[in-house]
Amino acid sequence: MTVRKKFSRALYEAYDGPAKEALVSLLESRGHTIVNTEENYYVDVVSQKGGYTYFNEAEVKVAWDGDWPVTWKDIRIPERKQRLLDKHGSENGVLNFYVFRKDMKQAWRIKDTLLTKESLGGAKGRYIRKNELFFHIPYTSAELVKTDWQKQEKPMWVLVVILMHEGNIKVNSFNGVFMERASCVQLGNRMEEELMKTRPTPESIAKSYCFQIPESV
C-alpha cells in the first residue's frame, strides 16, 4: 500500500497560486508561449517553444530559504507525481518539474528522466508520514534557475547590415539598440531594401542581422 502525505488545504492555498504565477513568468521570460494554466489533476502549466510542447509542474519547498544548503544532497519529489510520468511520459513533449524556493526567486528544474524507480526511497521529516516515498534527485543533476525576473534587464538587440560586392564585404551597424527583436528585424528589412535598390551590380547582396547583447556586457 502506498503511503502519501495528507493533503493540506492551507499550504495549497498559500503557495499554489504564487508558484503557478512564478512558473508562468519564468517560462515566458525563456521564450515559451503559455497554452494552458487551467486547474486539473495533471500539470500546472502547458507551454510551447521551438515546436515542442512542455508540461510543467510546480511546487514550493517551504523549508528552502536563502541559498540551497549543501547538506541537502537530494531534491525530493513526492511519489504521487508518478501520475504525471504515466500521463505525459509517452506523449510527444517535455515534462519538467520545478521546485521553488519559499520566496519564489529561485527554483530547481528537474527533467522527468531523472525520476526513476531506482531513485524512489523513504525520507525523514517533520511532516513526512511513515513509509511515504519520494523520488530522490541529486541537486547536482538539476538546473538551478533564477526566477527574480523583475530585477533582470530585458534583452537588447543591435542591428548589423552587410553589403557583399565582388568578394568584398562592407559592414554597417545601426547607431543604437532595440528593446524588441521585432523592431530590429523591421528596420533591418527596410535597410536591406534600400541597399538592394542602390547596389553597385546585380550580383551584390545585402543582408541584415539582429544580435542579442550578452547579459555580461
Look at residue 3 and tell me if it is in a domain: no
C-alpha cell at 93: 513533449
Residue 93, pLDDT above cutoff 90: no
110 and 165 together in one domain: no
Residue with cell 505525459: 88
Average pLDDT over the chain, rounded to whole?
81
CA dihedral of 171, 175, 178, 183, whole degrees rounded to 10: -70
H or E segment and range at residue 36? strand 33-36
H or E segment and range at residue 149? none
Strand order in the sheet with 33-36: 33-36, 45-49, 52-60, 94-100, 106-111, 143-146
Q: Which tens digit of pLDDT belongs to each residue from 97-149?
A: 999 998 898 999 999 999 999 998 887 666 566 778 889 999 889 999 988 65
Q: Which tens digit of pLDDT belongs to each residue from 15-46?
A: 567 888 899 999 998 999 999 988 665 788 99
pTM of the model: 0.62
105 and 169 together in one domain: no
Look at residue 54 and tell me if it is in a domain: yes
Look at residue 61 and tell me if it is in a domain: yes
Give the separation between CA 107 and CA 181, rounded to whole angstroms: 28
Residues 6+ apart with CB under 8 A from 45: 20, 23, 24, 27, 34, 36, 37, 56, 58
Look at residue 185 and tell me if it is in a domain: yes
